[in-house]
Amino acid sequence: AQSVSQHNHHVILSEAASLELGCNYSYGGTVNLFWYVQYPGQHLQLLLKYFSGDPLVKGIKGFEAEFIKSKFSFNLRKPSVQWSDTAEYFCAVNALPGGTYKYIFGTGTRLKVLA
């Protein structure tokens, strides 16, 4: 079955530290890839997405992600985090198993940034 793995469940960083959150998926066909962020008490919001083309995609708030097809990975990065980046981050894959698109989310990574 298709799945998405986020390796870090909890991450604590100091402000200005660099961030990398891992995401791997298991599906051999065409995929669309997303990172969503959920700030405390809020709904999920799209950070960035990859459909095709340049595997390095840039999103909002200084986030970027790199799609590495050979590794089935789509890691999220930010060079310098801020206290306001404290949130939960979800990687998601939208794939076409059996002819029907559906979104599969990872379990999420809770990021806490210390001021």
Partner 1 sequence: DSGVTQTPKHLITATGQRVTLRCSPRSGDLSVYWYQQSLDQGLQFLIQYYNGEERAKGNILERFSAQQFPDLHSELNLSSLELGDSALYFCASSSTGTGSEAFFGQGTRLTVV
Binding site for partner 1 (CB under 8 A): 32, 34, 36, 42-46, 49, 51, 90, 94, 96, 100-108
- Give residues with Cβ within 8 angstroms of 7, minimum separation 6: 22, 24
85 vs 106, which CB is nearer to partner 1?
A: 106
The tokens of 108 are what? Answer: 């999420």
Cβ atoms of residues 61 and 47 within 8 Å: yes
Give the nearer residue to partner 1 in terms of CB position, either 70 or 101: 101
- Please report how close the Cβ of residue 15 comes to partner 1 at its closest, in angstroms: 27
Residue indicated by tokens 């066909």: 29
Min dist. Cβ of residue 87 to partner 1 (A): 14
Nearer to partner 1, 83 or 103 (CB): 103
Measured CA to CA, the distance from residue 35 to residue 14 in angstroms comes to 22
